[in-house]
Every structure is written in C-alpha cells, then in structure tokens.
Amino acid sequence: MQPVALLSQEARRINHSNLDLRLPVPATQDEISDLSWTLNEMLERIANAFETVRAFTGNASHELRTPIALLRTEIEVALIRPRNGDEYRIILSHLHQEAVRMTNLVENLLSIARADTDLERVILQAIDLNDLFQRLARDWRETMHLAGIDFKADIGNEHFAVLGDPSTLPRLMTILLENARKYTPPGGSVSLSAKCVDAGIQIAVQDTGIGISENDMPRIFDRFFRGERAAIVDSSGSGLGLALGKWIAHRHTTDLVVGSSPGQGSTFSFILLRTVPPSLKERSLFAPNLLEDAESIRV
C-alpha cells in the first residue's frame, strides 16, 4: 500500500495555485501506474479548464472596463460646466455609442457563457434560405453603403432550404458579415452567396479586405483574440464574434472554413444540409422574427 499512500500524499498538495504539479508515475507498469496516469490526465483537464475560466474572466473584466471608463469620463466632462443643446446632443451620441458597444459585449459574453454550460439550445428545422438572404440583404445594404462597400447577396435562381436554427443561424451569418465589413476598407466589396455542394448548401461570406496574416490564422477563432488586423483598422469589437460563430457552426454539425491572403481579402464558409422548403404556413410562424436575435449581435 506504500505507492497508494504516496499518491494520496502528493494529491493532497495540489490546489488551485499549483495545478501544474503532477503525481509520480511508478515504472512498474501495473495498476498503480495506470491510476497515476489517469489522475494526471484528469489534473491536466482541470488545469486547462481553470486557466480558460481565469483568462475569460480577466479578458471580460478588461473589455468591460474600457466602455465604463469612457462613459464616466464623458459624463464628468459634461458636468464641468453648463452647455448648449448641440453640445449635449454630441455628448449623448457618444454615450449612446458606448452603451451599444457595452450591450453587445455583454450579449456576446452571455452567449459564450451559455454555450460553455450547454444552456444555449439549437433546434434544427427547415429554413427558407432565399427568404433569409433577402432579409440579410435588406438589413445590410445600407450599412455597407455607409461604409463605402459594395454588397451583394447572391443565391442564384434556385430555391434553397437548409436545416438550421432560426435564432442562431442568422446570428452566425451576421457575425461573418460584420467581420467582413469591419476589415474591408471603403471601395471594397463583400458578397454573401450560396451554392449546392453534394447533399448540402455551402454558404460563404467573401470580402476584398485586408486579409489575415499567416501568424494570426491559427488563432482567429480564439476568444478575445485580436491580431495584426486589429492594429490596422479601428476595431471596436471584443474578439468574441468568430469564437461564437465557430460554436454555432459546430452546433449545426458543420465547420467554419476560412481562406485568406493578406491584402487580398478573406472567405468564410460553412455547409448545411439541404432539406425540403418549409410550407408557407411554417415560414409565417418564425420568419417575421428571424433576424431579431441576429440584430442584437455585433462582433
């Protein structure tokens, strides 16, 4: 029982401040060594989870601190002396922008937290892709125009229907469109397209923006990650959008695929299963509210 007593003694030394410690593994290749390996693998998973939570909490606190500090500064400056109506309107406009940014950040944080705890449910059903494209085109055409970007939503002449969640699928496409808008300079173009691929439909968002560097490519789906592109553009994002988009794609049993070249733009795509178009009655049940959740998300 001496090896068991040694394992117990070493295990008692491990706590939240030294999760990098591991139990000794005897060279006996017996049940005791197997137990040591198993416990060390468990400790590795716990350490990774603990580090993820710690990093998430620290990053979230940092992201929330910035807009709160800006709100406080704007208010304190406004209270220094009386101002006319135009000045107050400008200040209120700045406060509104920061409030919207903080609201979007909190929504993203809540979505990520629900995803981690498996509380964010995805219910797949038939979605009229043509209808969804029309709504996205209508909502994004003016936004892209104001940014000086040419925008097209091309689904061809076919009538497509896919298996998707009416709430999170528009959110995923909104995340990709917002990401494309953010990193495409004025004069560029963004396109949303769909085409048949075997038994599925490939949906793609392509832009002519600044692209993604080779160094950043492995980390673009990491939470709070903002690489070289963020230093080039004025980015007010939190670095959570693509991480949330990747989770939504996985819940749709697909993957986000990215292709990019620095200075030549990026393409984000995913494939959904094709299905029978929903009836007009079914579409009327969820189509009017299809993009309400999507509008609450900005990367």
Higher-confidence residue of 76 and 56: namely 76
pLDDT, one tens digit per residue, over 64-123 is: 777 788 888 888 888 898 888 888 888 888 888 778 778 877 777 777 777 666 666 778
Longest CA–CA separation in the chain, Å: 83
Contact of 240 with 224, CB cutoff 8 Å = yes
User: What is the structure's pLDDT at 94?
Assistant: 83
46 three-state secondary structure: helix
CA distances from 270 to 105, 168, 170, 203, 249 (A): 25, 14, 13, 6, 7
- Burial degree of 260 (CB within 10 A; 0-12, 13-18, 19+): buried
Higher-confidence residue of 299 and 142: namely 142
User: What is the structure's pLDDT at 269?
Assistant: 95
Distance separating alpha carbons of residues 140 and 132, to the nearest angstrom: 12
Kindly tell me if the per-residue pLDDT of 139 is higher than 70: yes
Contact of 205 with 182, CB cutoff 8 Å = no
The model's pTM is 0.65
The one-letter amino acid code at 32 reads I
Question: Which residues are 125's β-sheet partners?
Answer: 164
- Range in 163-167, 186-190, 195-199, 220-224 with the lowest mean pLDDT: 220-224
In angstroms, the first-to-last Cα distance of the chain is 56
- According to CATH, the topology of domain 125-295 is Heat Shock Protein 90 (3.30.565)
Higher-confidence residue of 254 and 118: namely 254
**In the structure encoding, which two tokens stand for residue 193, read together?**
């397209």
Q: How many residues does the chain have?
A: 299
Higher-confidence residue of 298 and 76: namely 76
Distance separating alpha carbons of residues 124 and 249, to the nearest angstrom: 12
Query: 280 pLDDT band (50/70/90 cuts)?
Result: very low
Tell me whether strands 200-207 and 161-164 are parallel, antiparallel or unpaired. unpaired
Domain ranges, ordered by start, for the chain: 1-120, 125-295
φ and ψ at residue 216, rounded to 5 degrees: -80, -25
User: What is the structure's pLDDT at 283?
Assistant: 47
CA distances from 292 to 58, 101, 152, 171, 174 (A): 30, 17, 21, 9, 11
Distance separating alpha carbons of residues 297 and 262, to the nearest angstrom: 27
